[in-house]
Amino acid sequence: MFKALPAFLLLICSTALADVDAHFSKGVLGVKWAASLQDVQAKFPGGTAWSERDTANEVVYAVPGDFRVLNVSVPVQLVHFMFSKENQLERVFFHFKVVDRDAALYSIAEVLGHDYTVRDEMRSRLFEWKSGRRSFARFVIGAGPEFPWAYFGVRVLDGNAPGAK
């Protein structure tokens, strides 16, 4: 009986402290990393796309709706899918209502674990989980009423997207 205890504890700890890769290594919302804009538009029609010239010619596809990230109960009101100049999905941002920011952060931390770093950076407080081998996650809250944002961002780490060169 005591020989099985360490294995059981290891299983519980690895499940309870699952890293970001356990949830986002292959993609987000059923869309694989490196998917094209057209693939995402087919899965989530009705959004708006535009080019971001300030960020190396990335394309943003914004989809409003009632989404759930990590199966938490707090609704996401807008999702931004970000594509590289090669038309590959690299980042996704889940935007919450500002009034839901604390509940959203707590709920996400319940899934990803409470072992995150906190730092302040230009008008925002950032909560960052340890990166996995393939993905990274961060929750950002605007610092004050004049900066009304709360979002959870996930990105594939460079060169780790399926099909990346």
Instruction: Supply the pLDDT for residue 158.
Output: 72
pLDDT tens string 14-44: 334 458 999 999 999 999 999 999 999 999 9
- The contacts found for 35-41 with CB under 8 angstroms, 24 or more apart, are 35/88, 35/89, 36/83, 36/87, 36/88, 36/89, 37/61, 37/81, 37/83, 37/87, 39/89, 40/81, 40/89
> What are the tens digits of pLDDT across the range 62-93?
999 999 999 999 999 999 999 999 999 999 99
Asked if residues 77 and 62 have their Cβ atoms less than 8 Å apart, the reply is no
How do residues 126-151 score in pLDDT, each as one tens digit?
A: 999 998 899 999 999 998 778 888 99
pLDDT of residue 147: 82
pLDDT value at residue 112 = 95
